[in-house]
Structure 1
Amino acid sequence: MASTLNATFTWCTKGLLIAAEEGWLPQKAASISKFGTPWVLLTVFYIVGAIPILTGLDIETISRLGNGLSLIYVMFPIFAGYLIYKKNPQAMANSTFKMKRVPLAILTTVALGSYAMAAVLNFGDIQNAWQMMIGYLVIVLVYAFLRQKKVKSMSNIVGSGT
Protein backbone atom coordinates (compact mmCIF):
# COMPACT_ATOMS: atom_id res chain seq x y z
CA MET A 1 0.00 0.00 0.00
CA ALA A 2 2.84 2.36 0.80
CA SER A 3 4.33 2.01 -2.68
CA THR A 4 0.93 2.66 -4.28
CA LEU A 5 0.47 5.79 -2.19
CA ASN A 6 4.05 6.96 -2.85
CA ALA A 7 3.49 6.68 -6.59
CA THR A 8 0.35 8.77 -6.24
CA PHE A 9 2.18 11.42 -4.22
CA THR A 10 4.53 12.12 -7.16
CA TRP A 11 1.73 13.55 -9.32
CA CYS A 12 -1.31 14.26 -7.15
CA THR A 13 -0.34 17.78 -6.12
CA LYS A 14 0.32 19.26 -9.58
CA GLY A 15 -3.27 20.19 -10.44
CA LEU A 16 -3.96 21.36 -6.92
CA LEU A 17 -0.96 23.70 -6.99
CA ILE A 18 -2.39 25.29 -10.11
CA ALA A 19 -5.83 25.48 -8.49
CA ALA A 20 -4.30 27.32 -5.52
CA GLU A 21 -2.48 29.73 -7.83
CA GLU A 22 -5.76 30.48 -9.62
CA GLY A 23 -7.61 31.05 -6.34
CA TRP A 24 -9.71 27.86 -6.17
CA LEU A 25 -7.81 26.78 -3.06
CA PRO A 26 -6.29 28.93 -0.34
CA GLN A 27 -2.84 30.25 -1.31
CA LYS A 28 -1.40 28.56 1.80
CA ALA A 29 -2.18 25.17 0.21
CA ALA A 30 0.50 25.91 -2.42
CA SER A 31 3.26 26.39 0.16
CA ILE A 32 6.52 24.88 -1.06
CA SER A 33 9.39 23.82 1.19
CA LYS A 34 12.99 24.89 0.57
CA PHE A 35 13.42 21.51 -1.20
CA GLY A 36 10.61 22.25 -3.67
CA THR A 37 8.06 19.99 -1.97
CA PRO A 38 4.41 21.08 -1.73
CA TRP A 39 4.33 20.11 1.93
CA VAL A 40 0.81 21.33 2.83
CA LEU A 41 -0.87 19.37 0.02
CA LEU A 42 1.26 16.29 0.63
CA THR A 43 0.36 16.39 4.32
CA VAL A 44 -3.33 16.46 3.42
CA PHE A 45 -2.87 13.54 1.02
CA TYR A 46 -0.89 11.63 3.65
CA ILE A 47 -3.71 12.01 6.18
CA VAL A 48 -6.39 11.11 3.61
CA GLY A 49 -4.28 8.13 2.49
CA ALA A 50 -3.74 6.94 6.05
CA ILE A 51 -7.44 6.85 6.95
CA PRO A 52 -8.37 3.84 4.79
CA ILE A 53 -5.25 1.97 5.91
CA LEU A 54 -5.97 2.63 9.57
CA THR A 55 -9.59 1.55 9.15
CA GLY A 56 -8.51 -1.79 7.70
CA LEU A 57 -9.65 -1.42 4.08
CA ASP A 58 -7.84 -3.67 1.63
CA ILE A 59 -5.71 -2.31 -1.23
CA GLU A 60 -8.37 -3.11 -3.85
CA THR A 61 -11.01 -1.06 -2.06
CA ILE A 62 -8.59 1.82 -1.48
CA SER A 63 -7.59 1.74 -5.14
CA ARG A 64 -11.18 1.66 -6.35
CA LEU A 65 -12.16 4.57 -4.12
CA GLY A 66 -9.17 6.56 -5.39
CA ASN A 67 -10.11 5.79 -8.98
CA GLY A 68 -13.66 6.83 -8.23
CA LEU A 69 -12.50 10.21 -6.95
CA SER A 70 -10.45 10.70 -10.09
CA LEU A 71 -13.51 9.82 -12.19
CA ILE A 72 -15.33 12.74 -10.58
CA TYR A 73 -12.68 15.40 -11.08
CA VAL A 74 -11.89 14.27 -14.62
CA MET A 75 -15.54 14.77 -15.52
CA PHE A 76 -15.30 18.54 -14.98
CA PRO A 77 -12.95 19.27 -17.92
CA ILE A 78 -14.88 16.83 -20.10
CA PHE A 79 -18.13 18.60 -19.22
CA ALA A 80 -16.49 21.82 -20.44
CA GLY A 81 -17.06 20.49 -23.95
CA TYR A 82 -20.69 21.49 -23.55
CA LEU A 83 -19.81 25.02 -22.44
CA ILE A 84 -16.71 26.04 -24.39
CA TYR A 85 -18.50 27.66 -27.32
CA LYS A 86 -20.67 29.74 -25.00
CA LYS A 87 -18.14 30.58 -22.29
CA ASN A 88 -15.01 31.07 -24.38
CA PRO A 89 -15.70 31.24 -28.12
CA GLN A 90 -12.36 32.98 -28.70
CA ALA A 91 -10.52 29.91 -27.38
CA MET A 92 -12.30 27.74 -29.92
CA ALA A 93 -11.62 30.22 -32.71
CA ASN A 94 -7.90 30.26 -31.86
CA SER A 95 -7.59 26.53 -31.30
CA THR A 96 -5.45 24.51 -33.69
CA PHE A 97 -7.80 21.56 -33.15
CA LYS A 98 -11.23 22.67 -34.34
CA MET A 99 -14.49 20.81 -33.86
CA LYS A 100 -18.01 21.94 -34.64
CA ARG A 101 -20.56 22.17 -31.84
CA VAL A 102 -22.62 19.07 -32.66
CA PRO A 103 -19.70 16.62 -32.99
CA LEU A 104 -18.16 18.11 -29.83
CA ALA A 105 -21.45 17.65 -27.95
CA ILE A 106 -21.68 14.05 -29.17
CA LEU A 107 -18.08 13.31 -28.19
CA THR A 108 -18.59 14.95 -24.80
CA THR A 109 -21.76 12.90 -24.21
CA VAL A 110 -19.99 9.67 -25.15
CA ALA A 111 -17.06 10.53 -22.85
CA LEU A 112 -19.33 11.39 -19.91
CA GLY A 113 -21.38 8.23 -20.52
CA SER A 114 -18.20 6.16 -20.56
CA TYR A 115 -17.04 7.68 -17.30
CA ALA A 116 -20.46 7.06 -15.74
CA MET A 117 -20.27 3.41 -16.81
CA ALA A 118 -16.76 3.14 -15.38
CA ALA A 119 -18.05 4.55 -12.09
CA VAL A 120 -20.88 2.02 -11.99
CA LEU A 121 -18.45 -0.83 -12.60
CA ASN A 122 -15.93 0.58 -10.16
CA PHE A 123 -18.32 1.06 -7.24
CA GLY A 124 -20.78 -1.73 -7.86
CA ASP A 125 -19.80 -3.87 -4.90
CA ILE A 126 -18.18 -1.44 -2.45
CA GLN A 127 -20.41 -0.87 0.56
CA ASN A 128 -21.51 2.79 0.88
CA ALA A 129 -19.30 3.86 -2.05
CA TRP A 130 -22.10 5.68 -3.85
CA GLN A 131 -23.07 7.60 -0.75
CA MET A 132 -19.45 8.62 -0.19
CA MET A 133 -18.97 9.68 -3.81
CA ILE A 134 -22.22 11.64 -3.93
CA GLY A 135 -21.29 13.32 -0.65
CA TYR A 136 -17.87 14.19 -2.05
CA LEU A 137 -19.40 15.54 -5.27
CA VAL A 138 -21.86 17.71 -3.32
CA ILE A 139 -19.04 19.10 -1.18
CA VAL A 140 -16.94 19.89 -4.27
CA LEU A 141 -19.84 21.60 -6.06
CA VAL A 142 -20.84 23.68 -3.03
CA TYR A 143 -17.21 24.66 -2.43
CA ALA A 144 -16.74 25.63 -6.09
CA PHE A 145 -19.93 27.68 -6.05
CA LEU A 146 -18.85 29.53 -2.90
CA ARG A 147 -15.27 30.03 -4.10
CA GLN A 148 -16.23 31.20 -7.61
CA LYS A 149 -16.67 34.84 -6.52
CA LYS A 150 -13.10 35.00 -5.21
CA VAL A 151 -11.73 33.38 -8.38
CA LYS A 152 -13.65 35.82 -10.59
CA SER A 153 -12.39 38.80 -8.59
CA MET A 154 -8.82 37.50 -8.87
CA SER A 155 -9.15 37.04 -12.63
CA ASN A 156 -10.50 40.59 -12.96
CA ILE A 157 -7.46 41.93 -11.10
CA VAL A 158 -5.08 39.86 -13.25
CA GLY A 159 -6.98 40.76 -16.44
CA SER A 160 -6.85 44.49 -15.69
CA GLY A 161 -3.07 44.40 -15.38
CA THR A 162 -2.97 45.58 -11.79
Structure 2
Amino acid sequence: MVQCLTNHRRLSYNAASNKTRLSRTPGNRIVYLYTKKVGKASKSACGVCPGRRRGAHIVRPNVLTRWSKTRKHLSRACGGSTCAPRVCDRIKDAFLIDEQKVIVKVLKSRAQSQKAKFKNEAFLSNKKVKKRGKKKHLVLGRGVGKVSTKPGGSRISRDGGRQES
Protein backbone atom coordinates (compact mmCIF):
# COMPACT_ATOMS: atom_id res chain seq x y z
CA MET A 1 0.00 0.00 0.00
CA VAL A 2 1.24 3.45 -0.94
CA GLN A 3 1.68 6.03 1.78
CA CYS A 4 -0.02 9.39 1.30
CA LEU A 5 2.23 12.46 1.47
CA THR A 6 0.89 15.83 2.48
CA ASN A 7 2.41 19.27 2.20
CA HIS A 8 2.79 20.90 5.60
CA ARG A 9 2.79 24.42 4.23
CA ARG A 10 -0.12 26.11 2.56
CA LEU A 11 1.92 27.00 -0.52
CA SER A 12 1.32 24.27 -3.10
CA TYR A 13 3.30 25.72 -6.02
CA ASN A 14 6.72 24.55 -7.17
CA ALA A 15 8.42 27.75 -6.03
CA ALA A 16 12.05 28.11 -5.03
CA SER A 17 11.02 28.63 -1.41
CA ASN A 18 8.84 25.48 -1.43
CA LYS A 19 11.31 22.82 -2.56
CA THR A 20 11.05 19.47 -0.80
CA ARG A 21 12.82 16.16 -0.61
CA LEU A 22 11.68 12.78 0.62
CA SER A 23 13.02 11.42 3.87
CA ARG A 24 12.39 8.26 5.86
CA THR A 25 11.79 8.72 9.58
CA PRO A 26 12.91 6.32 12.34
CA GLY A 27 9.27 5.15 12.53
CA ASN A 28 9.62 3.99 8.90
CA ARG A 29 7.37 6.68 7.46
CA ILE A 30 8.16 8.73 4.37
CA VAL A 31 7.69 12.48 4.79
CA TYR A 32 8.47 15.67 2.95
CA LEU A 33 11.42 17.71 4.23
CA TYR A 34 11.50 21.30 3.09
CA THR A 35 14.98 22.11 1.86
CA LYS A 36 16.58 25.45 2.48
CA LYS A 37 17.72 27.58 -0.43
CA VAL A 38 21.30 27.06 -1.48
CA GLY A 39 23.46 30.11 -0.94
CA LYS A 40 26.03 31.60 -3.25
CA ALA A 41 29.62 32.48 -2.55
CA SER A 42 30.38 36.16 -2.78
CA LYS A 43 31.71 37.49 -6.05
CA SER A 44 35.36 38.28 -6.49
CA ALA A 45 36.22 41.95 -6.20
CA CYS A 46 39.06 41.69 -8.72
CA GLY A 47 36.69 42.43 -11.61
CA VAL A 48 38.54 40.07 -13.94
CA CYS A 49 37.28 36.65 -12.95
CA PRO A 50 33.64 35.94 -13.78
CA GLY A 51 33.16 33.30 -11.09
CA ARG A 52 32.78 33.32 -7.34
CA ARG A 53 35.47 33.45 -4.67
CA ARG A 54 37.10 30.10 -4.06
CA GLY A 55 37.38 29.13 -0.43
CA ALA A 56 34.39 31.20 0.70
CA HIS A 57 31.56 29.48 2.56
CA ILE A 58 28.37 29.02 0.57
CA VAL A 59 25.55 29.89 2.96
CA ARG A 60 22.48 32.10 3.02
CA PRO A 61 22.86 35.75 4.08
CA ASN A 62 20.93 35.32 7.34
CA VAL A 63 23.45 32.67 8.40
CA LEU A 64 26.28 35.07 7.64
CA THR A 65 24.75 37.60 10.04
CA ARG A 66 25.23 35.13 12.88
CA TRP A 67 28.84 34.31 11.98
CA SER A 68 31.88 36.19 13.24
CA LYS A 69 33.95 38.28 10.86
CA THR A 70 36.89 35.86 10.96
CA ARG A 71 34.65 33.00 9.90
CA LYS A 72 33.22 34.94 6.95
CA HIS A 73 36.54 36.20 5.56
CA LEU A 74 39.37 34.27 3.99
CA SER A 75 42.75 34.38 5.66
CA ARG A 76 44.88 35.46 2.71
CA ALA A 77 46.22 38.67 1.24
CA CYS A 78 43.74 41.39 0.21
CA GLY A 79 41.33 40.23 2.96
CA GLY A 80 39.97 37.47 0.78
CA SER A 81 38.03 39.96 -1.35
CA THR A 82 40.19 39.23 -4.38
CA CYS A 83 40.33 35.81 -6.00
CA ALA A 84 43.40 33.63 -5.45
CA PRO A 85 44.92 33.90 -8.97
CA ARG A 86 44.76 37.73 -8.86
CA VAL A 87 46.44 37.71 -5.42
CA CYS A 88 49.26 35.58 -6.88
CA ASP A 89 49.55 37.98 -9.82
CA ARG A 90 49.75 40.99 -7.49
CA ILE A 91 52.46 39.32 -5.39
CA LYS A 92 54.45 38.44 -8.53
CA ASP A 93 54.06 41.97 -9.93
CA ALA A 94 55.21 43.54 -6.67
CA PHE A 95 58.23 41.22 -6.57
CA LEU A 96 59.15 41.96 -10.18
CA ILE A 97 58.81 45.72 -9.64
CA ASP A 98 61.14 45.52 -6.63
CA GLU A 99 63.59 43.44 -8.64
CA GLN A 100 63.46 46.02 -11.44
CA LYS A 101 64.27 48.80 -8.94
CA VAL A 102 67.25 46.81 -7.64
CA ILE A 103 68.47 46.18 -11.20
CA VAL A 104 68.24 49.90 -12.03
CA LYS A 105 70.27 50.75 -8.91
CA VAL A 106 72.92 48.15 -9.78
CA LEU A 107 73.15 49.36 -13.38
CA LYS A 108 73.50 52.99 -12.23
CA SER A 109 76.26 52.15 -9.77
CA ARG A 110 78.02 49.98 -12.37
CA ALA A 111 77.80 52.80 -14.93
CA GLN A 112 79.21 55.30 -12.42
CA SER A 113 82.09 53.02 -11.49
CA GLN A 114 82.87 52.38 -15.17
CA LYS A 115 82.69 56.10 -15.88
CA ALA A 116 85.14 56.83 -13.05
CA LYS A 117 87.40 54.00 -14.21
CA PHE A 118 87.27 55.29 -17.79
CA LYS A 119 88.12 58.84 -16.64
CA ASN A 120 91.04 57.53 -14.60
CA GLU A 121 92.33 55.46 -17.53
CA ALA A 122 91.91 58.40 -19.92
CA PHE A 123 93.86 60.67 -17.57
CA LEU A 124 96.63 58.11 -17.20
CA SER A 125 96.79 57.45 -20.95
CA ASN A 126 97.14 61.20 -21.66
CA LYS A 127 100.07 61.41 -19.25
CA LYS A 128 103.20 60.50 -21.23
CA VAL A 129 106.71 61.16 -20.00
CA LYS A 130 109.42 61.81 -22.61
CA LYS A 131 113.09 62.01 -21.70
CA ARG A 132 115.18 64.68 -23.45
CA GLY A 133 118.62 65.08 -22.00
CA LYS A 134 118.63 66.17 -18.38
CA LYS A 135 115.07 67.63 -18.37
CA LYS A 136 111.88 65.57 -18.34
CA HIS A 137 108.95 66.91 -20.33
CA LEU A 138 105.56 65.99 -18.90
CA VAL A 139 102.94 65.97 -21.66
CA LEU A 140 99.40 66.41 -20.35
CA GLY A 141 96.11 66.47 -22.15
CA ARG A 142 95.67 70.25 -21.95
CA GLY A 143 99.18 71.55 -22.52
CA VAL A 144 102.88 71.02 -21.97
CA GLY A 145 104.50 71.40 -18.56
CA LYS A 146 108.21 71.18 -17.85
CA VAL A 147 109.56 69.50 -14.75
CA SER A 148 113.04 70.49 -13.69
CA THR A 149 115.37 67.78 -12.47
CA LYS A 150 117.73 70.21 -10.63
CA PRO A 151 117.27 70.55 -6.87
CA GLY A 152 115.91 73.94 -5.88
CA GLY A 153 114.71 74.62 -9.41
CA SER A 154 111.35 76.03 -10.36
CA ARG A 155 108.52 73.92 -11.71
CA ILE A 156 105.97 75.05 -14.30
CA SER A 157 102.45 73.96 -13.40
CA ARG A 158 99.69 72.99 -15.81
CA ASP A 159 98.09 76.42 -15.79
CA GLY A 160 101.40 78.14 -16.66
CA GLY A 161 102.18 79.67 -13.22
CA ARG A 162 105.60 79.15 -11.68
CA GLN A 163 105.88 77.23 -8.43
CA GLU A 164 108.97 77.09 -6.26
CA SER A 165 109.88 73.65 -5.01
Q: TM-score range by the shorter chain?
A: under 0.3
- Scaled by the length of structure 2, what TM-score is found? 0.19
Which has the larger Rg?
Answer: 2
- Scaled by the length of structure 1, what TM-score is found? 0.19
